[in-house]
Amino acid sequence: MVLRCTNLISQRKITISGSKSISNRLLILQSIFPNITIKNLSTSDDTRHMSDALKSSSNKINIRHAGTAMRFLTSFFSVKKNSIVDIYGSKRMHKRPISILVKSLKKIGAKIEYLENSGFPPLRITGHKLQSKKLRIDSSISSQFISSLLLISPKIEGGLEIEMTAKDTSLPYIEMTIDLLKKIGVMVTYHKNIISVNQKEKINAIEITVEPDWSSASYFYSIVSLADIGYSLELTHFNSYSIQGDKRLSEIFELFGVKTTFLDESVLVEKIGEAEQIINLDLSANPDLAQTIAVTCLALKMSCKLIGLHTLKIKETDRIIALENEIRKFNVFPTVTNESIEFNASKAIFNTTKISTYEDHRMAMAFACLAIKTDLEIQDSGVVSKSYPEFWDHLASIGVN
C-alpha cells in the first residue's frame, strides 16, 4: 500500500472500536459467568480469534498470531471441566515463551503438555478443578501471565493468591484485570506486590460497555503532533476515567506540543506548540506506545531515548530490532539493547520509503503516520486487522490516501 497526504483535514471525528485488551478479558469472564453482557466489543482479529475459540466445539484451537488469546485460553481451558484441547498458532506464536504461565498453572493442579518444544506452544490442556495455592510469579516477562491466572481465579477452589516478584511489567494491564473482576462483583485485594482473589460461583447479571482503545488512539496523537499548529482531531467516546494504562499518551504527547481536552463524550486532540528537542521515557508500563513514540521522534527530528522495552523482544516480532531496521532507512542509526532504543534524529532524510511490517500491526500503523512528511509504501498493510481493521479507512477520512 502506498500512502500519500496532500491535504490533511482538520476537525474530523474518528470513532475507534472497543479496547482489544478489555474485550479479551471480558470474553473470558463471560465464558465463566454467562450472565455478563458485553457492548462495543473490539473488531480486531485478536478478539475475533478469542471469541471463535471460546465458542468452538473442536478439540483443536488455532489462535494464529493472537498472543493474548494463547495466554488467556491456556488458563481458561485448564479450568474447563471434561475438556481436552490442543491449542496452537502461527510459527511466531510457537516461538513465544509460555513456561512461566504453564509452571504456575501446574502448581495448582493443571494438566498441560507441550506438544513440540518445552516452554512453548502448542499445548494440550486437560481441564478439571484446580486447587488454591499461593503462587510466586516472575512479573518481569509479561503481565499477561498474571492476568491470565487472575481471570480464572474465581473458579479455583479457595480462590488464588499471587505474589509478583522482580520488576513489574505493564502493570496497568494487571490493574485493568483487577478492575474488571471487581466490576462484576469478585472480591479482590491488592497490596504492594500481592493480589488475592476470592472464589465466586455466581455473579449478578451485568452489562459492560467496552471503552475505545487508547493504544489505537496513539496513531492519531502522532499525526496531530506532526501537523501544523492549530490542527485538531476529535476522538469519540474516550473519557478521563479510563482503566487503560495507555491513556498516559495524553500526558506523553504534551512533550510533542499536543493538548488533550476531555469533552462530555469525546477527547479533542490539538497541536498547540512545538515539540521538545529530546524525549527520554521509561515505557515499562506502556510498551505498546514505544513504536508510535519512536516514529514520532524520527519524524520531528528529535533525539529519543526509550527504556523499559524488554517485553518487545517477544511480541509479534522482535520490535526493538524491527524499529532499528526501519529507522535506519531514514539515515538515522539507533543504538539498541534488549530493553532500550536511543537515537539522535537530527539528520533524518525523508524520501519515498518501503516499510517492512514484520507481521506486526503496530509497525504498520506507527510508520503510517510518517505519510504526513513523505510518501510511503507500507508492505503487508492488511496486518493492521490484528488490532484495528478500520485503520486505513480512518486515515483516508483525514486526507491520508
> What band does 168 get if pLDDT is binned at 50, 70 and 90?
low
Q: Please name the residue that has the C-alpha cell 498472543.
A: 67
Same fold, 2-16+212-397 and 20-209: yes
- In the DSSP assignment, the letter for residue 9 is P
Catalytic option among 45, 46, 213, 288: 288
Q: Which fold has domain 2-16+212-397?
A: UDP-n-acetylglucosamine1-carboxyvinyl-transferase; Chain (3.65.10)
What's at 278, amino acid-wise? I
Angle at 45 between CA 41 and CA 49, to 5 degrees: 85
HSE at residue 29, side-chain half, CA atoms within 13 A, is: 32
Nearest by Cα to 191 from 157, 153, 161, 148: 161
CB 321 within 8 Å of CB 337? no
State the pLDDT at residue 138: 84
Nearest by Cα to 218 from 233, 228, 240: 233
> What band does 272 get if pLDDT is binned at 50, 70 and 90?
very high
> What band does 232 get if pLDDT is binned at 50, 70 and 90?
very high
- Residue 379 CA, chain-centre distance (Å), reads 22
More confident residue, 159 or 171: 159
State the pLDDT at residue 207: 97
More confident residue, 290 or 315: 290
115-124, 170-179, 210-219: which has the minimum mean pLDDT?
170-179
Q: Which fold has domain 20-209?
A: UDP-n-acetylglucosamine1-carboxyvinyl-transferase; Chain (3.65.10)
Q: So where are the chain's domains? A: 2-16+212-397, 20-209
Cα-based distances in Å from 322 to 18, 216, 361, 389:
27, 19, 12, 22
Angle at 230 between CA 225 and CA 232, to 5 degrees: 65
Sign, Cα dihedral of 104, 66, 36, 111: negative
State the pLDDT at residue 259: 98
State the pLDDT at residue 312: 83
More confident residue, 269 or 373: 269
Average pLDDT value for residue range 342-364: 88
Nearest by Cα to 242 from 223, 260, 219, 222: 260
Cell numbers found for residue 252: 506523553
State the pLDDT at residue 253: 98
Whether residue 334 is predicted with pLDDT greater than 80 in this model: the reply is yes
Number of other CB atoms surrounding residue 323 within 10 Å = 28
The per-residue pLDDT of the chain, averaged, comes to 93
Catalytic residue flag (residue 375): no
Question: Which residues pair with residue 167 across a beta bridge?
Answer: none
E strands, 117-274, in order = 123-126, 134-138, 160-165, 188-191, 194-197, 206-209, 232-236, 258-262, 266-271
| Cα(18)–Cα(26) distance, integer angstroms | 11
> What band does 223 get if pLDDT is binned at 50, 70 and 90?
very high
110-163 tens-digit pLDDT: 999 999 999 999 999 999 999 888 999 987 777 889 999 999 999 999 999 999
Whether residue 345 is predicted with pLDDT greater than 80 in this model: the reply is no
State the pLDDT at residue 170: 73
| Cα(27)–Cα(81) distance, integer angstroms | 18
